Amino acid sequence: MITISENGAESVNQVRNKKMYLHRIAGRELPELRQDYDANFVPDEDYRNSLPDMQEAVDAVEGANVPIPQVGVSGFHLPLKFAVEDGSAVTLQATITGTVSLQADQKGINMSRIVRSFYDYKDAEFSLETMREIVRAYQEKLPSLQARLRVGFSYPMIQKSLRSGLEGYQFYNCAFEIVANGNNRVQRFIHFDFVYSSACPCSAELSEHARDTRGVYAIPHSQRSKARIKIEVADGWTLNIEDLQRHMVEALHTETQVMVKREDEQAFAEMNGAYIKFVEDAARLVYEQLNADLRIKDFTVACAHLESLHSHDAVAVIARGIPNGMQADFMDFQNLVC
């Protein structure tokens, strides 16, 4: 191939003196590098030991030579078996995040070891205790002071309709989380989302006022709403997803429905009338339920009512309030849209 420059045709010799690394050029039979994949090549132990390992690099840290609290992997998936309250197990797709702390002077971690630690337990029945074992395992493989593990999943439960006798699956966004600190303290958390309907008490009063004083039919505004709780399980206790679902139903009552006939829709309207609530009410009602459970050491509650009256949402956040405990600092309300 001869290229044309501003000064005219480039000579064949000049072209031949150039290098192409992956493609052949005129005057050369082969490129500089081979592009062959040998599917039959099997590395032996000596070959594996000869492979470059960035963990062995000296003075390789780029930027500030400081510790990093969390380094790891996020968003890898596995089908995992979760224990159901009745003693059976259900297999669900899980989304996993695992991190460890990294000390100064260390270039990085072998992230695949976190994934491999999980695969060692892929056939186990998953619980917070299983996750505690996994955290300890990859802390040993990746020597670190701190480690975190979060497994997110959508948990199905049968919901009975209010009056018709129908049944359907309600799915709850959940996560188990383990936090292991350098002082051998291990904290166990459960995250749980609950979707419900909220009817506005003020709108209900105003609607009745219109009917009573002017004979005008009016409908109080209500909206789909979500409560997100994060609870820390107390040492020596266990807690099921079903336990948290019952707490939320007892606190808020007006869970959205799966299977509905006309009698169920009427019942739901009556239930919303019986349990009208502001977002402040919702947060306090959930607080009351969680605070009474001895199995729960600490918790936060974030509620969002996706207002049908306003162009914005009504929100509330509350924490149990124990010394050195969890804080009411939730701000990701867009993530509560449902």
Residue 271 has pLDDT above 70, yes or no: yes
Tell me if 231 sits within 8 A of 290, measured CB to CB.
yes
Q: Which CATH number fits domain 70-160+168-184: 3.10.270.10, 1.10.3720.10, 3.40.50.720, 3.20.20.70?
A: 3.10.270.10
Q: What is the pLDDT of residue 320?
A: 98
Which residue would you say has higher pLDDT here, 136 or 6? 136
According to CATH, the topology of domain 188-338 is: Urate Oxidase (3.10.270)
Whole-angstrom Cα distance, residue 336 to residue 338?
A: 6
**pLDDT tier for residue 1 given thresholds of 50, 70 and 90:** very low
In single-letter form, the type of residue at position 295 comes to R
Nearest Cα to 35, choosing from 50, 20, 52, 45? 20
Q: Which two tokens stand for residue 71?
A: 């380094």
Q: What is the pLDDT of residue 45?
A: 95
Tell me if 168 sits within 8 A of 258, measured CB to CB.
yes
Which residue would you say has higher pLDDT here, 88 or 8? 88
At 74, is the secondary structure helix, strand, or coil?
strand
Residue-range domain boundaries for the chain: 70-160+168-184, 188-338
Q: Which two tokens stand for residue 196?
A: 């419900």
Residue 188 has pLDDT above 60, yes or no: yes
CATH fold match for the domains 70-160+168-184 and 188-338? yes
**pLDDT tier for residue 10 given thresholds of 50, 70 and 90:** low
pLDDT (average), residues 73-80: 94
CA distances, 31 to each of 2, 20, 37, 39, 154 (Å): 18, 6, 16, 21, 52
